[in-house]
A and B are shown apart, each in its own frame.
Chain A
Amino acid sequence: MDVTSQRTGGALIVSVEGRVDGANARKFQKAVEGVIDDDRAVILDMENLGYISSAGLRSILLIAKGLQKRKAQFAVCSLQDAIGEVFRIVGFDKIVTIHSSQGDAVAAMGS
């Protein structure tokens, strides 16, 4: 699991690569929260995320909750098919904003 970040068009883009499972979910969450400053919009790019377990989904909820508390926007983008399916089954496609590409996400959220 690897986390990198950049700021584009008023949004912080955090890209996650590899697998997020029970063994590294907390590390993943800390890594993402570590790169978030006082950003108003945070996009989690999952283009290179191959697997996420329910523990990883929980980490995403905790990240989203933290942002929500200070009224910052949060979305995920570029989900691989299998990951999109996980989001759909668990029903998180209804509580987390999903964009098909990073460009779409920035256009929708950036300022």
Chain B
Amino acid sequence: MNRPYKILVVDDEPDLEPLMLQRMRRHIRAGRYSFVFACNGLEALDRLNEDGGIDMVLSDINMPQMDGLTLLEQIPKVDPNIRSVIISAYGDMKNIRTAMNRGAFDFVTKPVDFKDLQITIERTLAHMMEWREALSYRDKLVSIQNELEVASRIQQSILPSEFPDDLRYQVYGNMEPARDVGGDFFDIMLFDEGQIGLAIADVSDKGVPAALFMMSCRTLLKGVAIGLTEPGAVLGEVNDLLHEDNETMLFVTVLYAVYNPTTGEFTYASGGHDAPLLIRSDGSVSLLPLTDGIALGVVPELYYKQHTITLSPGDTVLLYTDGVTEAQNTDGSAFEVDGLKQIFAGSSAYRKAREGTDLVFKKVREFMGEASQFDDITCLTLHRDN
């Protein structure tokens, strides 16, 4: 701060003004302090309102019209960041206590020891500066927090919120981020001849860098998927695009599948992602075989294998991220793939995609209990109708 600290001195004794200016002259000349004077509380309030920029108040207690204790109550109404120091009679603990309770930062006693007063002023100003700095950090933090909330809304808004309306199949997905901005996403793409593309992905790490990586991954996947029909080829292309200039070593695991509603053929390729869960109409559950692909963004020019299964009417495929299987309860044990299998094993309780996804979220929440969520939880369900 370059301007001098402005100190308002309030006292009904006219002697104090010349004395103060004389004893503090070196600090005034050095441009450290400047003084404003008032002879009672009312005049002090006028100064505070009109003069502006006053950093601290040094006030006597007993004064006509408005005393120092009343003034103390009024100062925060003008500016809550102004710090006050009270000048009291020696040993007047009652008034000193009252002043402290009303927010005085410190006190000095009469007769004023100017050396002690100067130390008190410096201490008060230092405290005030720290306070102002903390306030400015808080404001910045609030603004970052607001931006993160916007980022989170943008992230949520890119997730499909409407799902295809088709008599032959249903698809439904949901994602719950662990923090403001997450690294998971899912996507549903409609192609010519009624085929659909389904993607679920999990970016390593969370926070802003992961969110940016996730956005670019999603955009690339959407773009590439329109031009290429084979899931393995799509992952290969997206991998190369993500790998370019990826110094951060962020990576993304992706399960990408194309479903043909006419034939029931479900062709998928995995880039380091968890194996999908297949729930047959008879209630038998199994993990689909992994296709041994490496997570995207790490190594260029990879060939991604793909695998095809055929869904019979009543069958369901469930795609998920490890936020589901690694969800922890308060004992520290994980939900695991077994937990996921158990939800659906032997059951014919649910028969719709939305119910499947919702059931996973419900069961994971029940399992977690009071434990906190460490990872984004995402689930995307495809169901072939009868």
Contacts and interface: CB of A to CB of B under 8 A. Distances in A.
B202 A91 contact: no
Determine chain B's interface SS by DSSP, over half rule.
loop
Interface stretch (A8-16, A37-45, A54-62): A54-62
A26 to B, nearest CB: 9
A92 B249 contact: no
A95 B294 contact: yes
Contacts of A92: 272, 294-295
Contact of A58 (B204, B293, B322): B204
Q: Which interface class (under 10, 10 to 19, 20 to 34, 35 or more) fits A? A: 10 to 19
B272 A89 contact: yes
A93 B111 CA distance: 80
Nearest to B271: A91
A58 B274 contact: no
Interface residues of B, number: 25
B206 interface: yes
Nearest to A56: B204
Nearest to A54: B204
Interface centre among B292, B298, B299 (most CB of A within 10 A): B298
Given A89-B273, A90-B253, A95-B299, A58 B205 contact: yes
B249 A61 contact: yes
Interface in B295-348: 295, 298-299, 322, 326
A48 interface: no
Given A53-B204, A89-B274, A92-B272, 6 more contacts: A54-B251, A57-B251, A58-B204, A61-B298, A89-B275, A91-B293
Interface of B: 202-206, 249-251, 253, 271-275, 290, 292-295, 298-299, 322, 326, 374-375
25 contacts: A22-B206, A22-B374, A22-B375, A53-B326, A53-B374, A53-B375, A54-B203, A54-B204, A54-B205, A54-B253, A55-B206, A88-B290, A89-B272, A89-B273, A89-B290, A90-B251, A90-B295, A91-B271, A91-B292, A91-B295, A92-B272, A92-B294, A92-B295, A94-B294, A95-B298
